[in-house]
A and B are shown apart, each in its own frame.
Chain A
Amino acid sequence: MEEVDKILIRSLRLSGTDIPDEVQSVREFTTELIVEAVVRCLQVINPSVGAGLSHILPPGMSARFRIGISLAQACQDLGYQGEVGYQTFLYSSEPEIRRLLLFLVEKLPRDASEDAAQPVGKSTALHRAIATTIKEQLAVPWVPPTCRTPRLQLLQGSCLLKQFQARPLVLPRESDPSIGKMPPERKEFFVQFLPPVSAQLSRPACFAPSLLEQNMADLCTDQDWENEWKNQGLGSRMTPEEYRQWKHQRLQHRLLDQLRQAAPQAGPAPQGGTARDLTQFLGTFGAGQERMGALDKGSRFTHTQHLAFKQEAEPTAQIHTLPVSRTSEEELQERQAAEVEILESELGRLVGQIEEIEGQLATLGLTLTQVEGEVRQRQLGVTELEQTLRVKGRTVELLPDAENNMAKLQVVVESSAQRIIQLAAQWEKHRVPLIQEFRELKALHDSKELESSQRLLEIRELHERIRSAADEAKRKDDLYKQLLLELESLPKDVSRSAYTQRILEIVSNICKQKEEITKILSDTKELQKEINGLTGKLDRTFAVTDELIFKDAKRDEAVRKAYKYLAALHESCSQLIQTIEDTGTILREIRDLEEQIESETSKKTLNNLEKILNDYRALKQENTALLGRARET
Chain B
Amino acid sequence: MLLVLSEEHKEHLGFLTQVESSVVSEFGRIAMEFLRKGTNPKIYEGAARKLNVSSDTIQHGVEGLTYLLTESSKLMISEIDFQDTVLILGFSEGLNALLLQLYLDNRKEIRSILSELEPKLPSYHSLEWRLDVQLASRSLRQQIKPAVTLKLHLNQNGSQTTRILQTDPATLLHLIQQLEQALGEMKTNHCRRIVRNIK
A→B interface (CB under 8 Å) = 126, 129-130, 133-134, 137-138, 140-142, 155-156, 158, 164, 208-209, 212
**When the two chains form their complex, are residues A156 and B139 in contact, meaning their CB atoms are under 8 A apart?**
no
Query: Min CB distance, B143 to chain A, in Å?
Result: 9
Residue of B nearest to A154 (CB): B145
B interface SS class? mixed
Q: Is B198 an interface residue (CB 8 A)?
A: no
Q: Is B146 an interface residue (CB 8 A)?
A: yes
Q: Is B161 an interface residue (CB 8 A)?
A: no
**When the two chains form their complex, are residues A156 and B144 in contact, meaning their CB atoms are under 8 A apart?**
no
A473 to B173, alpha carbons, bound, how many Å? 47
A133 to B135, alpha carbons, bound, how many Å? 12
A-B contact list, 16 entries, CB within 8 Å: A129-B144, A130-B133, A133-B145, A134-B169, A137-B146, A137-B168, A138-B169, A138-B173, A140-B169, A142-B171, A142-B173, A155-B145, A156-B168, A156-B170, A158-B166, A164-B138
Residues in B neighbouring A133, C-beta threshold 8 A: 133, 144-146
Query: Min CB distance, B165 to chain A, in Å?
Result: 11
A156 to B133, alpha carbons, bound, how many Å? 14
Residues in B neighbouring A158, C-beta threshold 8 A: 166
Residues in A neighbouring B171, C-beta threshold 8 A: 142, 156
Q: Is B125 an interface residue (CB 8 A)?
A: no
**When the two chains form their complex, are residues A155 and B138 in contact, meaning their CB atoms are under 8 A apart?**
no
Query: Min CB distance, A391 to chain B, in Å?
Result: 93
Q: Is B29 an interface residue (CB 8 A)?
A: no
**When the two chains form their complex, are residues B168 and A155 in contact, meaning their CB atoms are under 8 A apart?**
yes
Which of these, A142, A164, A208, A209, contacts B170 with CB under 8 Å?
A142
Residue of B nearest to A133 (CB): B144
| CB within 8 Å for A212 and B168 given contacts A133-B144, A138-B173 | no
Q: Is B174 an interface residue (CB 8 A)?
A: yes
Query: Min CB distance, B130 to chain A, in Å?
Result: 14
Residues in A neighbouring B145, C-beta threshold 8 A: 133, 155
Residues in B neighbouring A208, C-beta threshold 8 A: 139
Given A156-B171, A209-B139, A212-B138: 18 more A-B contacts, CB < 8 Å = A126-B135, A129-B144, A130-B146, A133-B144, A133-B145, A134-B169, A142-B170, A142-B171, A142-B173, A155-B145, A155-B170, A156-B168, A156-B170, A158-B166, A164-B138, A164-B139, A208-B139, A212-B139
Chain B positions 83 through 102: 1 when the CB is less than 8 Å from some CB of chain A, otherwise 0: 00000000000000000000
Residues in B neighbouring A134, C-beta threshold 8 A: 146, 169
Chain B positions 156 through 180: 1 when the CB is less than 8 Å from some CB of chain A, otherwise 0: 0000000000101111011000000
A142 to B173, alpha carbons, bound, how many Å? 8
B→A interface (CB under 8 Å) = 133, 135, 138-139, 144-146, 166, 168-171, 173-174
Residues in A neighbouring B174, C-beta threshold 8 A: 142
Residue of A nearest to B174 (CB): A142
Residue of A nearest to B133 (CB): A130
A466 to B138, alpha carbons, bound, how many Å? 30
**When the two chains form their complex, are residues B170 and A141 in contact, meaning their CB atoms are under 8 A apart?**
yes
Residues in B neighbouring A164, C-beta threshold 8 A: 138-139
Query: Min CB distance, B13 to chain A, in Å?
Result: 56
**When the two chains form their complex, are residues A130 and B144 in contact, meaning their CB atoms are under 8 A apart?**
yes
Residue of B nearest to A213 (CB): B138
Instruction: Pick the most buried of A126, A133, A141, A142: most chain B CB atoms within 10 A of its CB.
Output: A142
Residues in B neighbouring A126, C-beta threshold 8 A: 135
A137 to B135, alpha carbons, bound, how many Å? 15
Query: Min CB distance, A112 to chain B, in Å?
Result: 28
Query: Min CB distance, B140 to chain A, in Å?
Result: 10
List 9 A-B pairs, minimum CB-CB distance, nearest first. A142-B174, A137-B169, A133-B144, A142-B170, A138-B169, A140-B170, A134-B146, A156-B168, A164-B138
A130 to B133, alpha carbons, bound, how many Å? 8
Query: Min CB distance, B178 to chain A, in Å?
Result: 10
Residue of B nearest to A212 (CB): B139
Residues in B neighbouring A212, C-beta threshold 8 A: 138-139
A158 to B145, alpha carbons, bound, how many Å? 12
Residue of B nearest to A208 (CB): B139
A134 to B166, alpha carbons, bound, how many Å? 15
Residues in A neighbouring B146, C-beta threshold 8 A: 130, 133-134, 137
Query: Min CB distance, B41 to chain A, in Å?
Result: 57
A130 to B134, alpha carbons, bound, how many Å? 10
Query: Min CB distance, A482 to chain B, in Å?
Result: 14
Residues in B neighbouring A140, C-beta threshold 8 A: 169-170
Residues in B neighbouring A156, C-beta threshold 8 A: 168, 170-171
Residue of A nearest to B143 (CB): A133
A130 to B142, alpha carbons, bound, how many Å? 11
A446 to B171, alpha carbons, bound, how many Å? 79
A212 to B141, alpha carbons, bound, how many Å? 12
Residues in A neighbouring B139, C-beta threshold 8 A: 164, 208-209, 212
Residues in B neighbouring A142, C-beta threshold 8 A: 170-171, 173-174
Query: Min CB distance, A259 to chain B, in Å?
Result: 40
Residue of B nearest to A211 (CB): B139
A212 to B138, alpha carbons, bound, how many Å? 9
Residues in B neighbouring A155, C-beta threshold 8 A: 145, 168, 170
Query: Min CB distance, A566 to chain B, in Å?
Result: 106
Query: Min CB distance, A367 to chain B, in Å?
Result: 74
A209 to B171, alpha carbons, bound, how many Å? 29
Residue of A nearest to B178 (CB): A142
A126 to B142, alpha carbons, bound, how many Å? 10
Query: Min CB distance, A194 to chain B, in Å?
Result: 25
**When the two chains form their complex, are residues B138 and A137 in contact, meaning their CB atoms are under 8 A apart?**
no
| CB within 8 Å for A138 and B166 given contacts A130-B133, A130-B144 | no
**When the two chains form their complex, are residues A138 and B170 in contact, meaning their CB atoms are under 8 A apart?**
yes
Query: Min CB distance, B51 to chain A, in Å?
Result: 61
Query: Min CB distance, B99 to chain A, in Å?
Result: 47
A142 to B171, alpha carbons, bound, how many Å? 6
A209 to B137, alpha carbons, bound, how many Å? 12
